[in-house]
Amino acid sequence: MTTMTLFHSPLSPFVRKVMVLLHETGQQDRVALQAVNISPVTGDDQLDLDNPIGKIPALRLQDGTVLHDSRVICEYLDQQHVGNPLIPREGSARWRRLTLASQADAIMDSAVSSRYESFLRPEDKRWDGWLEAQAGKIRRSLANLEQEHLAELTSVFDIAAIGVACALGYLDLRQPAFGWRERQPGLAAWYAEVSKRPSLAATAPMA
Ligand code: 99T
Residues 67 and 118 placed together within one structural domain of the fold: no
Band (137; pLDDT cuts 50, 70, 90): very high
User: How much is the average pLDDT of 163-168?
Assistant: 98
pLDDT attached to residue 206:
77
Asked whether the predicted pLDDT for residue 150 surpasses 80, the reply is: yes
User: How much is the average pLDDT of 51-56?
Assistant: 97
Asked whether the predicted pLDDT for residue 154 surpasses 90, the reply is: yes
Residues 96 and 187 placed together within one structural domain of the fold: yes
pLDDT attached to residue 14:
98
Q: Which amino acid is at 100?
A: L
User: How much is the average pLDDT of 33-62?
Assistant: 97
Number of structural domains in the chain? 2
Measured in Å, residue 167 CA sits from the centre of ligand 1 at: 13
Residues 16 and 43 placed together within one structural domain of the fold: yes
Measured in Å, residue 203 CA sits from the centre of ligand 1 at: 17
What is the gyration radius of the CA atoms in the chain, in angstroms? 17
Helices (H), 60-158: 70-78, 91-115, 128-148, 150-155
Residues 145 and 99 placed together within one structural domain of the fold: yes
> Chain-wide mean pLDDT for the chain?
97
pLDDT attached to residue 207:
61
Residues 36 and 60 placed together within one structural domain of the fold: yes
CATH at residue 162: 1.20.1050.10
Q: Residue whose CA is closest, atom 7 of ligand 1?
A: 55
Q: Which residues surround ligand 1 with Cβ inside 6 Å?
A: 11-12, 14, 38-40, 54-57, 69-71, 105, 112, 115, 174
- Residue 83 lies inside a defined structural domain of this protein: no
At 172-204, the pLDDT tens digits run: 999 999 999 999 999 999 999 999 999 999 999
Residues 97 and 71 placed together within one structural domain of the fold: no
How far are the Cα atoms of 103, 130, 168 from residue 86, in angstroms, in the given order? 17, 34, 19
Ligand 1, atom nearest to 170 Cα? 25
Q: Which amino acid is at 194?
A: V
CA geometry: angle 17, 8, 116, nearest 5 deg = 80
How far is CA 137 from its chain centroid? 17
Residues 107 and 198 placed together within one structural domain of the fold: yes
Residues 49 and 96 placed together within one structural domain of the fold: no
Asked whether the predicted pLDDT for residue 146 surpasses 80, the reply is: yes
Count of residues in the chain: 207
How far is CA 199 from its chain centroid? 13
What are the beta bridge partners of residue 8? 35
- Residue 84 lies inside a defined structural domain of this protein: no
- Residue 57 lies inside a defined structural domain of this protein: yes
CA geometry: angle 4, 9, 10, nearest 5 deg = 110
From 175, 97, 96, 173, select the one nearest 138 (Cα to Cα).
Answer: 175
Residues 4 and 32: beta-carbon distance below 8 Å: yes
